[in-house]
Structure formats: C-alpha cells, structure tokens
Chain A
Amino acid sequence: MALFKCLGLLSLVALLACDGVIGGAGGPGGGDSFSGPGGDAGAIGAQVMHRLNRTEYRNTVRDLLGTQLDPAASFPADDVSLGFDNIAQVLTISPLQFELYEQAAEDLTVEALTTGVRDAIVFCDPNVSSCRDDIFRELASRAWRRPTTDAEIIRLQQLVDVALNEGQGMEEGLELAIRGILLSPHFIYRPELEDDPSSTEPHLLNDYELASRLSYFLWSSMPDDALFDAATSGRLRDEAGLRDEVDRMLSDPKAQALVDNFAGQWLRIRSLDDHVPDYATFPDWDDSLKSSMSQETKMFFGDFLRGDVPMDELLMTDFTYLNDRLAAHYGLPFDLGPELERVSLEPTDSRFGLLTLGSLLTVTSTPTRTSPVKRGVWILEQLLCSEPPPPPPGVEGLPQDGMSGGTLRDQLEQHRADPTCASCHNLMDPLGLGLEQYDAIGAYRTEDQGFPIDAGGELVDGQTFADGREMAALIQGDERFDLCVVEKLFTYALGRPPGSSEHPFLETIAQSSAQSGAQLPEIIKRIVTSEPFRTRRGTMEGSQ
C-alpha cells in the first residue's frame, strides 16, 4: 500500500510523513470493557480546558433555549490552529469576549422569559420555592451538561433574592438566576475536573464529561436528553453502549455539524465564502454557482458520513451531486433541475471524486489562475498529513498576469530547474499539475492560454500517472491517506493535535479501517471508543 516513500533526501517531509510509525503498536490500554485499538495508556496527550467556540455557543443556546437570537454572530472570530477553529489551546477569552458573553446572557434570558419557550423553562409556579429549585436544577444541569449540587441551587436562589430584596417581582429574580447560569464558566467552558489537580496521571472521564466530548464532536452542541440519560445510566461505559450512541447521534439531523464544521474546514468548503474569482477572467462565476459548489461538496461528504461509501474511496467515486448549473459548468450531459441530485459518473467522465469537486479546485486557486502549488500543498497537508517544507523567503510566487513562456507547467518546470526549489517543488508541483485540466473555478479544460495541457506526471518515488484520475488513484492507495483521515478526525474530535505517543492509537485505527474498507461512521466509532477519547490527562503549566 505504501506507494509514496519517505525519501531521505527530504528529511523534514520524511520526518513528518514517517512520524506515524514511531513507537510501534502499543498494548491494550486500561482494564475496562473496551476492545478498541491499543496504545500506551500512560501516553495520553494532555487536554486543555475547552471553551465553546462561536459555532458551539450558537448551537448550544439553540438547543438549550430554542432561541431565535444569534449573539455569537457578533463574537470575535475564533483563532484557528491546525486548520480547525475548535483547538482548545488557542480558544482564549478577551475582556471584549467576556463582555459579549455577559450581554448575550442578558439578551437570551429576556427572550427566554418572554417568548414561547418560557413554558419549557418555567414549567411550574416560580413563586413556590421548591418549583424554582426544580427550574434551576433542570436548566443548570442541561446548561452545564452535568448534574448540579444542592449548594449550587441554593446559590441560584440567592440571586432571586437580590431582585426580591429590591422590591421587584419574581420575574426579575428568575432573570438574574438564568443570567447567572448562562454566564457561568461551567457553561462557557467544558471543564473536565481533576480529582487531584496536582496530578498529571491519565484518568477516565466521568460519564457526563464523556457525553460532552461526544456531543461536541458529532453535533458541535450540547448533549440531548437521550445522551444525558445514557450517561446517567452508565451506558457510555461499555463499548457497545458508546457505539449505539454514535449510531443514534449520526442519524440525527444535528450531525450535519460534522459536514459544516469538520468537512467545512478540512475540505475547505467554508473558504468558498471568502473567495472572489476575478470577474473579468471568469464572468461565469456568481453566487448561484458558488452555492451549488458548496452544496455539492457537502452532499458528497454526506454520503460518506451516512456510511453509504467506504472512506477509502473518497478520491475515486462513481458519483457526485449536481444541478443544472453545475452540470453545465462541468460540461456533463445531465438533464437536471435547480436542485442538486446524486448522479452516476462513468470512468470516461472528467469528474471522479474529491479532487474534482468545484469548490476545492476553486479555493486552491488564485482569483485569476490555477495554483498547482497550492493544490499540491493542500493534497500533501490535508490528505497525506505531510506538510512540505515552506519556501525560503523571497522565492515564492509567480507573476499572475502577462505570463510568458507557455503553460504554468512550463513555468514551474523552469522553477524546478533550480535545485533549491526542486527539493520541495518536486513534491508539490506534480500533484497540482495533475489537476491542471481544471481551471481556477473548477471547469474542465484541455488548453491553458492556447497551449495544450499535459496533466501527466511523476511522483517523487518514481510512480507515473497520465492524468488527474490516475494520480487520484495513487494518492488514495497511499497508506498515509488512511492515517491522515484518522489524524484529522482525531484532531477535530479532541480539539488538540495527537501527541506523538498517541500515534499507535491512530495507526491501529487507520490500519484496521483500511483493511476492512471501513466507512466513516465506523472510523468515528473507533476514535470515540479509543483510549485517548475516553481518558483525560491534565497538564501543568510548563509541562506541555
């Protein structure tokens, strides 16, 4: 399966690419009922406390309160690391962010107490003290995603008293308590508590912490009642129970979050929003084409998420989703309406899977032309998890207008004649040039500026391909691809990069998935039931 080789010549790349094999397969972890992939339980990566990012906050208040408001829309953007906006270590809170949380808590509370959702929250007579206990216990435990203590409920009652002591009514009292619940750090963060805060020994998460990890991974939102019940009843403690929950949650419409947020970032669907192709060069480009492309990629990924297609066929599919506009743009003879439909592709068609999706081809281009380098880098980083060494200063970039000397291939070949450029560009350029038959907005073409396009190439290990389709098959067959899919999912699932000592877990999952032609839901289950997902290791300052 290892079609790409790690060449000693490219030491940095080789290091990254071969990183997965260090340490060898670990033994079975923990003494529990899980038969999942093994690894050294003592080597669980450190987990930093996660704060809800904008998307998670938005979804959580939606599911908690049924709100029509979207306070998160005005929150500052979350910083991105490793290609995702849910990486715990860089999710900080500035005073401005706190101020916006405070305002949001007030606005959401006022809305919740004055609209149709009120009855769901205030389900008994709040003038009765024991009813208020029930109201607070119910709301706070959902908001904080864990059972509350009596002391916590008493403290919320004291907030009610603040209003009552001012001579104000019960409504204002309720409002204060609910504002408190929504501004609590237990709501804004997802704390995983330490029995012994001075220890960095790994320990299993409690049931509710595990439920939260699960729901923020699959739904980008809080656990629902059923998941909460599963946690309470201890069903998440065995592998079968956890797997059942994943099945249930993936069949819920909220699993669309994995499409929007995981695939949205991994496959760069979100980037389409900010991408503006040059109108003069591409007069065909408009919002309708853009949204069709975005929709195509989401529906395409949706098939994998539903388990209709094995994950290791991502690059070589015999289907995609098109509407009339997209079919015309791609030059495919389907008779379609404005809604996207699943269509079957022939081996002779110019589309054959992930790499020929218009959205991906577009966002890896510049506004005026294709960028084989960007496309090649994307494939290396996102599909093979092998980051190429970046260019030395002052050498990147091609003139974008008035190019002379033929096709981009010709230009890039001149570029690679320079040995300092060649060492890296031999890695990236062939991958990007294999897709040169797709222009900067993903349309099929056979010529570039009047010159015929040659989409053939040779990989660094000497394997050759005649066109993009053959190249895609080679990439799909690379074992780094299987591992990379697992690594991306793991990173997103835990909001942190895998520690080097966790690679045996990833390798085991990747190998078993590749052997069995596993579908995405199965890979997700293997990650969720793995030791790192169910375990926490705290971290001390300076011990990262």
Chain B
Amino acid sequence: MRGPKFSRRLMLGGAGAVITLPLFESFIGDAAYADDSFPARLICYYVPNGMHMAAWTPSQTGSNYTLSPILQPLAPVKDQILVLGGLSNTPAQPDGPGDHAGGTSGFLTAAHANKSETEVRLGISMDQVIANQIGDATRIRSMQIGIDGGGNSGGCDSGYSCSYTRNISWASETQPLSKTTSAGVVFNQIFEGVDPNASIEEQERRKLYKTSVLDYVHEQTQALEQKLGSFDRAKLDQYTTGIFELEQRLDKAGLVCGATEEPSNTSDIVEKVRIMNDLMVLALQCDATRVITFMLGNAGSNRSYPFLGASGGHHNYSHHQGDPVNHAAIQAIDTWEVEQLSYLLQRMNEVPEGTGTLLQHSQVFFSSEIEDGDAHRHRNLPVILAGECHGAFNTGRHIDYEPNKSTNGPSIANLFLNMMAAMGVNQGSFANSTGTLGQLG
C-alpha cells in the first residue's frame, strides 16, 4: 500500500465555517514524502443535457489555444487541463429515443442499456473497475455523490428505468450504485468512527459489537438464501456485499484527518454544489477514498436557473432549435457548470502534497451524456480531463480526435483505458475500446 501514514489527528475549520479545507501542516513542504508516495485519485464529474458546442469547442488545437467562452472559468487552471474533442460513445445510443438514459448509463460504462422499466441490464462502469483493484487500500472503496435525488414522480426517459438516468456508477451489469445527495451523509462517510472522546478500549468494544451484529446478519442472510429462488438469491447478494464491505472497513486504519463541523444540508443549488465540491476534496485529501463519481444533476435535468437568467428548464433550453435565446440560456448554464468544475480544481490545487498538489496527483473527468442537446448526438462528446495524475497526462492542450464532426471518432472507452492505467489499473480492454488513446502523455 502506498501513501504515508498519519497518526496525528488534524482539525479543520473554524467556528462558523461550513467546511474549511484542513491545511495539513504535516504535508506542507515536507520533503520527507516524495510526490509518488501520494496515491493517484479519480473524480468523474457528470453534467446533464450536453453542451452548447459552438461556445464550448476552442477554435485552435494544441497547447497554444484560446479558451472558448464556456471554458473561460478554467483560465486559472488552464495549464492543468486537457480539452478533448471528437470522442464518441456509440453504445450509449439508445434503441429509439431515450438518449438521456442511454447517454447517462453509458457515461462511464460505454455499455448499451437494455431498454426496459424493470429488466435493468448494462455493464460495469470504469470507476468500479478501478475501485475493484484499488478500493481496498482505503476505508471507502468508492463514493457516489450527486445533487438531485430525483424524488419526483413520472417516467424518466422513454421507457427506460430511472436506474439508467440517476446512476453513473455500476458495480455490475445489474447493480447501479445509488448516489447520496446529502452532504451530511458524505461527511459522515468520510469521518465515520471518529470519536475523539472514546477510549481505545471503547473503540475496540464498539468494533466488536458491530462485527457481532454483522456476523449475525450474515448468518441470517445465508439462511434466507436457502429459501429463495435463484433470482432473489442473486438480489440478496447485494446485501451480502454490503455486509462484507462494512466488515472490511472495520479493519481498516483510522483516518488521516478529523473534522470539527458537519455541513448543513441546503437546498440552495449554488451552496450545495460548493459544499459537495469541498467534501470531495476533503475525501481525497484525507484518503478516505480514491474514487469518486459526481452528478451535478440527473439525466435530462429540467432544473431552472433563475440566478443565471435562465428560468425555463435546462432540458427545455437544451432543445434549442437554433434559437439564440435558448443558446444564450444553455451557454449560461454550461458556463456555470464549468465554473463549478473550476472551483473544484482550484481547491484541489490548493492542497499541497509533497512538492506537488492534490490536483497533480489526480485526474478529473468532466463530461455530459450527449454532445448537443438538440441533436442528442453521442459523438464529439464535450470532455475535459484535468490533472496530470502523476505525469500520466501532458496537460494544457486541446486535442481533437475527430475533426469531421459527422463521423464517430475514437471510443470514449479508449480514454477510459488511459485513465485506468493512470490509476495503476491495466486493462487490456474495456467495453468497446480498441486500445489506448494517443497524444495524451
């Protein structure tokens, strides 16, 4: 296992601060830890409804390019990002309509969703391939975070189960990993078990109790399996997996850092996204996990953004029909989304690790379920890959893999192979990949 051990409990935040990043005195400028002793980390950042491509795509390629209007907020980290054009996700193409479901379920799986309300079948997502290999090194194998739970009723997308429109992490063909939209839950996941007032003895006893209850539940689960048909048995496996993961966690080392204050659960979108961004940085910084997926909205979100002057629904605007009013609205929303990404990247860049920063040791994949909201295309996807991830990526460039926009460029799954390799996970292939992407290093 890589990475330094920290015995010291660090406190963060002052009174009143919702969350303040802890400045790790133990890290700062400490040459005792070489940069490569810090692990590689991954965030996959999903935004709904595609992009206004005319204002997204930079007009030049290479390192000497000018940021497009939507990408302007990334100016402070321009040399740490790659803008990638021309990649396609053809398996995400749905059977008939349902592009938001197809694109979102295919977002990290590059798999083709079985069109059904009840028979959900897709494929494992690339973040879970990574978590399966490196997840045991951290207390939490991977985290799934989002903004919208999707509590409203009504159909999701054209005959597809909402499972396809609300989840981007898939543990298997049939198991989406539901995300939490509660800042409190994320916070507790990161800091669970941290009780500065408990003695070692008490902590040991609590662990024994938890283990005893989990053993008991495991026995019951096994006994129940005997009385179920094979389909229900398979369903109950999810419960067993939950038991195992929690048991394993009890055996993992304590936290790298501690916290003083739990964030409030807010319904204000701006505040909530900021808190979630902060929490993601915290989770990586504390090495609570190394793999995070984040959904800034669900597939085809129709959220309105009155504070951007876009009070019609996002999805409605995205079907712009070439109308300049709609173009202006989606450009405002797209730019705001990129601002949120930029905030995250800047926070990561503020976290010193050895002689580098958290951002330099990480990769952040940002994209959407489709290209243009009106055309619903699954090619020329808008992609940003941020962070060098220990030198795996030569950032600061715009690369266009398929200048002909009516042709399907290389599969996004090829990029996933590069991203997995950067995490130390070498896969010969993934989904419809044909090999790693060139030009990235």
- Seen from chain A, the residues whose Cβ lies within 8 Å of a Cβ on chain B are 46, 48-49, 73-74, 76-77, 79-85, 87, 89-90, 92-103, 105, 155, 158-159, 162-163, 166, 168, 172, 176, 179-180, 183-186, 188-189, 191, 193-194, 197-200, 264-266, 268-271, 273-274, 276, 278-281, 363, 366-368, 381, 387, 389-394, 396-402, 496-497, 538-541, 543-544
A94 with B152, Cβ < 8 A, contacts A82-B118, A99-B189, A397-B321 known: no
Output the least CB separation between B29 and chain A (Å): 36
Q: Is B178 a contact of A96 with CB atoms below 8 Å? A: yes
Q: Is B321 a contact of A399 with CB atoms below 8 Å? A: yes
Interface presence of B154 (CB below 8 A): yes
A541 with B234, Cβ < 8 A, contacts A191-B228, A367-B304 known: yes
Q: Is A97 a contact of B178 with CB atoms below 8 Å? A: yes
In Å, the complex CA distance between A374 and B247 comes to: 48
Contact among A48, A168, A180, A387 for B235, CB-based, below 8 A: A48
Q: Is A95 a contact of B246 with CB atoms below 8 Å? A: yes
Q: Which B residues touch A98, using CB under 8 A?
A: 239, 241-243, 245-246
- Chain A residue at smallest Cβ distance from B177: A94
Q: Which A residues touch B212, using CB under 8 A?
A: 159, 162, 176
In Å, the complex CA distance between A155 and B337 comes to: 53
Q: Is B231 a contact of A544 with CB atoms below 8 Å? A: yes
Q: Is A188 a contact of B118 with CB atoms below 8 Å? A: no
Identify whether the interface residues of A are mostly helix, strand, loop, or mixed. loop
Q: Which A residues touch B217, using CB under 8 A?
A: 180, 183-185
Output the least CB separation between A140 and chain B (Å): 11
Interface residues of B in 284-304 (CB under 8 A from A): 302, 304
Contact among B228, B230, B242 for A99, CB-based, below 8 A: B242
In Å, the complex CA distance between A82 and B175 comes to: 18
Interface presence of B208 (CB below 8 A): yes
Q: Is A162 a contact of B152 with CB atoms below 8 Å? A: no
A197 with B230, Cβ < 8 A, contacts A99-B189, A166-B208, A278-B311 known: yes
Interface presence of B441 (CB below 8 A): no
Output the least CB separation between A475 and chain B (Å): 19
Contact among B156, B175, B319, B326 for A94, CB-based, below 8 A: B175
Output the least CB separation between B303 and chain A (Å): 8
Interface presence of B161 (CB below 8 A): yes
In Å, the complex CA distance between A200 and B230 comes to: 10
Instruction: Mark interface residues in B404-417 (1 if CB within 8 Å of A CB, else 0).
Output: 00000000000000
In Å, the complex CA distance between A92 and B174 comes to: 9
Q: Which B residues touch A279, using CB under 8 A?
A: 306, 311
In Å, the complex CA distance between A416 and B326 comes to: 23
Q: Which B residues touch A197, using CB under 8 A?
A: 226-230, 233
In Å, the complex CA distance between A96 and B192 comes to: 13
Output the least CB separation between B309 and chain A (Å): 10
**Chain A interface: which of B1-9, B75-83, B143-151, B386-394?**
B143-151
Interface presence of B125 (CB below 8 A): no
Output the least CB separation between A56 and chain B (Å): 15
Interface presence of B436 (CB below 8 A): no
Query: What is the size category of the interface that chain B forms with chain A?
Result: 35 or more
- Chain A residue at smallest Cβ distance from B116: A81
Q: Which A residues touch B151, using CB under 8 A?
A: 77, 270, 273-274
Interface presence of B268 (CB below 8 A): no
In Å, the complex CA distance between A96 and B167 comes to: 13
Interface presence of B54 (CB below 8 A): no
A394 with B375, Cβ < 8 A, contacts A74-B184, A95-B241, A98-B242 known: yes
A159 with B311, Cβ < 8 A, contacts A48-B231, A191-B224, A193-B227 known: no
28 CB contacts below 8 A, A to B, read A76-B178, A76-B179, A83-B153, A83-B154, A83-B155, A84-B153, A87-B117, A94-B178, A97-B178, A98-B246, A99-B245, A162-B209, A163-B209, A185-B224, A185-B236, A188-B239, A197-B226, A197-B230, A197-B233, A265-B153, A266-B153, A268-B152, A274-B151, A276-B304, A363-B154, A497-B117, A541-B230, A541-B231
Contact among A92, A155, A390, A496 for B118, CB-based, below 8 A: A496
Instruction: Mark interface residues in B157-199 (1 if CB within 8 Å of A CB, else 0).
Output: 0110111001100010011111111101100110010000000
In Å, the complex CA distance between A186 and B166 comes to: 28
- Chain A residue at smallest Cβ distance from B210: A102
Output the least CB separation between A187 and chain B (Å): 10
Q: Is A271 a contact of B163 with CB atoms below 8 Å? A: no
Q: Is A400 a contact of B162 with CB atoms below 8 Å? A: no
In Å, the complex CA distance between A278 and B308 comes to: 13
Output the least CB separation between B95 and chain A (Å): 11
Output the least CB separation between A170 and chain B (Å): 14
Q: Which B residues touch A264, using CB under 8 A?
A: 153
Q: Which interface residue of A87, A159, A180 has the most chain B CB atoms within 10 A?
A: A180
Q: Which B residues touch A76, using CB under 8 A?
A: 149, 178-181
In Å, the complex CA distance between A310 and B412 comes to: 56
Q: Which A residues touch B238, using CB under 8 A?
A: 92-94
In Å, the complex CA distance between A433 and B90 comes to: 37
**Chain A interface: which of B39-47, B96-104, B427-435?**
B96-104
Output the least CB separation between A459 and chain B (Å): 23
Q: Which A residues touch B231, using CB under 8 A?
A: 46, 48, 538-541, 543-544
Output the least CB separation between A285 and chain B (Å): 11
Interface presence of B205 (CB below 8 A): yes
In Å, the complex CA distance between A519 and B161 comes to: 31
Q: Is B213 a contact of A179 with CB atoms below 8 Å? A: yes
Instruction: Mark interface residues in B345-385 (1 if CB within 8 Å of A CB, else 0).
Output: 00000000000000000000000000000111000000000
Q: Beyond A83-B155, A98-B242, A393-B99, list 9 extra A-B contacts (CB 8 Å).
A: A48-B235, A76-B178, A76-B181, A77-B181, A95-B141, A176-B209, A191-B227, A399-B321, A399-B325
- Chain B residue at smallest Cβ distance from A109: B213
- Chain B residue at smallest Cβ distance from A180: B216
A189 with B236, Cβ < 8 A, contacts A393-B376, A400-B312, A402-B325 known: yes
Q: Is A81 a contact of B317 with CB atoms below 8 Å? A: no
Interface residues of B in 209-261 (CB under 8 A from A): 209-210, 212-214, 216-217, 219-221, 224, 226-236, 238-239, 241-243, 245-246
Output the least CB separation between A264 and chain B (Å): 7
Q: Is A94 a contact of B119 with CB atoms below 8 Å? A: no
Instruction: Mark interface residues in B53-92 (1 if CB within 8 Å of A CB, else 0).
Output: 0000000000000000000000000000000000000000
Contact among A79, A166, A266 for B178, CB-based, below 8 A: A79
For the complex of A and B, 6 pairs with smallest distance between CB atoms: A98-B242, A397-B319, A77-B149, A538-B229, A76-B178, A265-B153
Contact among B117, B177, B311 for A96, CB-based, below 8 A: B177
Interface presence of B323 (CB below 8 A): yes
Output the least CB separation between A541 and chain B (Å): 5
Interface presence of B316 (CB below 8 A): yes
Contact among A79, A80, A155, A191 for B153, CB-based, below 8 A: A80
Interface presence of B22 (CB below 8 A): no
Q: Is B158 a contact of A390 with CB atoms below 8 Å? A: yes
Contact among B141, B180, B205, B317 for A168, CB-based, below 8 A: B205
In Å, the complex CA distance between A368 and B323 comes to: 16
Q: Which B residues touch A180, using CB under 8 A?
A: 213, 216-217
Q: Which A residues touch B311, using CB under 8 A?
A: 276, 278-281, 367-368
Q: Which B residues touch A172, using CB under 8 A?
A: 209
Q: Which B residues touch A85, using CB under 8 A?
A: 153
Q: Which A residues touch B242, using CB under 8 A?
A: 93-95, 97-99, 101
Contact among A79, A158, A497 for B176, CB-based, below 8 A: A79
A186 with B375, Cβ < 8 A, contacts A95-B246, A159-B212 known: no
Q: Which A residues touch B119, using CB under 8 A?
A: 89, 544
In Å, the complex CA distance between A392 and B178 comes to: 30
Q: Which B residues touch A193, using CB under 8 A?
A: 227-228
Q: Is B246 a contact of A391 with CB atoms below 8 Å? A: no
Q: Which B residues touch A166, using CB under 8 A?
A: 205, 208
Q: Is A271 a contact of B161 with CB atoms below 8 Å? A: no
Q: Is B227 a contact of A194 with CB atoms below 8 Å? A: yes
Output the least CB separation between A494 and chain B (Å): 12
Q: Which A residues touch B220, using CB under 8 A?
A: 184-186
A81 with B228, Cβ < 8 A, contacts A98-B246, A162-B212, A397-B319 known: no
